Each structure stands twice: as C-alpha cells, then as structure tokens.
Structure 1
Amino acid sequence: MSTIKSEPSAAAARGGGGLSPRKRRRVILGVQYAIVIGVIGLIAATVDWPTIREHFLDVDAARQMLPTLFTVALKNTVIYTLSAYVIGFLLGLLLALMRMSSAAPYRWAALVYVEIFRGLPALLVLMLIGFGIPIAFQGLQFPGDVYGKVAIGLGLVAAAYMAETFRAGLQAVPRGQMEAARSLGMSHSRAMVSVVIPQALRLVIPPLTNELILLFKDSSLVSALGITAATIELTKLGSDAAINSADATPFVVAGLTYLIITVPLGFVVRRLEARQTRGR
C-alpha cells in the first residue's frame, strides 16, 4: 500500500503540478515570446516614426551618396581589407611556424611580436605607421601612400591574430601525418609545406574568414590618416555626407553597405563550421 501511495506523489513531483516537462517548456517559451513581443510593441509605440523617416530614411540624402558610395568608397574599403588580409595571412603563417620552431630565438621573437600587436589598438598602430614611421625614417615612401600605410598597419595587427589561429591549426594536425611524410623520405620542411600546412589551412578556414570580416570593419579606422576624396572609405563617406546634409541617413546607408559584405561572409563561416562538424 505504501508503494502505491508514493507513485502518484512522485509523478506529481516530476510533472511539476500536473505539467509534463514538454508542457513546461512550451509555457516558458510562450512567456518569453510574450515578453519579447511586448517589448517590441512598447518600443514601436514610443518611437517618433515621422522623425525616423525624416532623419534616418531620407531617400534624397541617400541618393546624394551615389555613385561615390560604390565606385569609390566601397571599392577602397575592399582594397584596404584585402591588401591588409594578404599581409596578415602571409606574416601570420610565418609567425606561427616560428612559434613552433625548435630554435628558441625564433619562438621568442614571434611571441614578442604577437603579444605586442595583439595588445596595441589597431588605430594606434595605423597612426604609428602613418605618422611615426615617416618621421623616424625621413624620405620613406609607402607604396600607394595611404593604401600602403593601411595595408601594412592593419596587416601587422591581423598577423598577430592569424598567427595564433595558424598555430592552433598546425597543432591540430595529427602528429602521424608528419611522421608518415618523413617515412616517405620527405624533409621536415617539405613535409610541412606539402602535408601539414594544407591540412591546417582547411581546419582554420572559418576563423580566418572571421578575421576577414573584422578587417573589413577595421578599415573604417583609415580616416585617422587624413584620407582624400580619392581614397575615402565607407565610414568617412557616411560621416561627411551626414555633416553636409545634417541628416543621419548616410550613416544608415554606410551601415547597410557594410552588411552587404559581412552578412554573406558570416553565412559562409557558419556553413564551413557546420561542414567541419559533420566531417568530425
């Protein structure tokens, strides 16, 4: 009899007052959805929509940014990003190999570099490259002037982060891959280039794509170098247009243009991560 009496009480305890775990989850989700909808409705009811349309969705202010938005600003932003990415990629891979070298001076030099450039703000590095280096080395000319300064400045910062990404990828490659390549008569350097590095690159494609997105956004720091109309990028164009029109629409247009690039790249990152997860 005691056993029979305990069963309903245990079931009630598990059910939480008669609700099954699935029903409890539905109730909790329903409450959460109601709260979110309520907050959105409250915001929508309190926003001054006529002012939003006038100062944030002004078609005339957006039209004044054309065609410079795409023919100059977006083009320069892409150039700044890709040139810095190439430098960061090559230098980062070199630093990763130095971090894994058997020679202690190489490891120390790479470690010092990574710690310094990961600790310095990208804006400060850009200003040091753009204004400090020409003072220290009189007569030094960067290739492409602003383009060269941006590529080197952002590339140096990106290399510090990519170096750690590459190092993680190289360490993730099974040690047996190197041993198998050496058993086939390959030298250590040949095995690294032909066997280990290609496998490591496949492993780190998602974080490297994330770094490309970060560089695309960091290109907005270029305006600190005093760019001209020919070297203007998206954020500077939006800022100048907003000042001229006394309107916030140019900022919205510039932000949407960034999203045209970054959202598809983010989708690519998620697909690559999902594919690697399935592969494992």
Structure 2
Amino acid sequence: MDFSILTDHFGSYMEGFYNTILSSLLALCGSFLLGALIAIFRITPVKGLRWFGTGYVEFIRNIPLLLVVYIFFYGPSALGFPLDGFIAGTIGLSVYTSAFIAEAIRAGIMAVPKGQTEAARSSGLNYAQTMVHIILPQAIKLVIPPLGNQFINLIKNSSVLTLVAGLDLMYFADGISTETYRTFDTYIFVAMFYLVLTLPLSYAMRVWERRLQRKY
C-alpha cells in the first residue's frame, strides 16, 4: 500500500472527511427528528396523519437512496431554485433514513405499556404532551440498538453524495484515483476514514445501551 497517496493528497482527504462528518451529523439530526414525527403520525388516532405516515414510510423505504437524492438534486432545479450537491445529498439522506428510524421508533412506542398513556392522559396531558414527555423517551431507550445501526448506515450511505458532486470523501477519492491511477490504495484509505467514524459510534452505542439497561 502506497502511503504517499495519503500524504500527498492529505488536504483533499481531510476536506472530504470534514464534509462527510458534517453531512452525516446534519442528516442524523434531521432524520431523527423527522423519523420521530413520522412515527407519531403512524400511531396517531387522526386518520389523515396516520395515512400520511404510512404512505411516507412505504414510499421512501421502497425506492433507492440514490433516487431520493436525485429528487432533491434535480427537482428544485426544474422548479427554478437549484440546490448544490452537498445540500441536496444531505436532505435526501435525511429523508431516506427517517423512514427507517420512524419504523424503529414506532416499534418502541408500541412496546411501551398502554398504561403509561392512560396514566398520562388521566393526569391532564394531551396527546402531543403524552408522546413527547412520557412515551417517546421510553420508546427510544427500547430501540437504541436499531437506531445505532441506522446511524452507522447513514454514515456509510453518505457516500452517495459523490454522485451529485457533494464534496464528500468518495468525491475527492475519485479525483485522486483518476490523478494517480492507484485505485486500490486510494479507496483503502477512504475505508480507513470511514472506520474512524463508524467504529467509535458502534462502541458508543453499545456502552450507552449497557448503561441504560443497568439504570432501568
């Protein structure tokens, strides 16, 4: 393995690494908030919202991530307000991941005993307050492992930004590979950068899960 590729193009690698981290963090926050909202829609007594939540999850989960990103990259351009590859890719990544997070959170909500909801409502809380303050905190603790898996998948899926010039790790690696003709070495270093992100996150999720199990 030729380490001169890493040293000679370290600036490009780090720029792509920074953009990958930034896109992943933004998409993580966006997908979690949107996923939690869609999960609530999925089990709400309001029929219209329930249909919307179900349709959203079924539609997004059954089309490719790349297509979702293309929708946000080419769609706004057709309407006259183009988005750059980084923004379009991050939005697409958030929307796609939110559908999977919604199903994980919904499973957690369904696992919370119904008595919790009844007790909250009898205490004077409305439906939204019951969900935000009583049910969701318990549901999220129950689904930490699948949520952690989705967050790790999100980081890996951020490589889709390269197809819309999103300036991520893979985007710069493509340029380095073309310049040096050392494809294998170039992408091995990319894999190492991804491992720097995913392995600590995987470990942190396991530690968090164990601590919550001891606490509750």
One fold, TM greater than 0.5? yes
Gaps of 5+ in 2: none
**CA shift at 1:279, angstroms?**
6.1
Which amino acid letter does the alignment assign opposite residue 140 of structure 1?
F
2:8 aligned partner: 64
1:189 to 2:128 alignment: yes
The residue correspondences of 1:166-245 to structure 2 (distance < 5 A) are 166-225=105-164, 227=165, 231-245=166-180
**CA shift at 1:268, angstroms?**
2.1
1:21 aligned partner: none
Which amino acid letter does the alignment assign opposite residue 120 of structure 2?
A
The residue correspondences of 1:91-130 to structure 2 (distance < 5 A) are 91-130=34-73
Measured against aligned partners, the alpha-carbon deviations of 1:218-242 in whole angstroms (never above 9, x if no partner) come to 11111111x2xxx521112222212
Measured against aligned partners, the alpha-carbon deviations of 1:103-122 in whole angstroms (never above 9, x if no partner) come to 22211111111111101110
Measured against aligned partners, the alpha-carbon deviations of 1:166-213 in whole angstroms (never above 9, x if no partner) come to 101111111111222223222232222211111112222332222111
**CA shift at 1:154, angstroms?**
0.9
2:189 aligned partner: 253
2:88 to 135, 149, 173: 149
1:269 to 2:205 alignment: yes
TM-score normalised over the length of structure 1: 0.71
TM-score normalised over the length of structure 2: 0.91
- Mapped to 1, the partners of 2:62 and 2:174 lie a distance apart of 28
1:160 aligned partner: 99
- Mapped to 1, the partners of 2:141 and 2:171 lie a distance apart of 36
Q: 1:188 to 1:125 in 2, by over 3 A?
A: closer
The residue correspondences of 1:47-86 to structure 2 (distance < 5 A) are 57-70=1-14, 72-86=15-29
Gaps of 5+ in 1: 1-56
Which amino acid letter does the alignment assign opposite residue 81 of structure 2?
L
- Mapped to 1, the partners of 2:181 and 2:128 lie a distance apart of 59
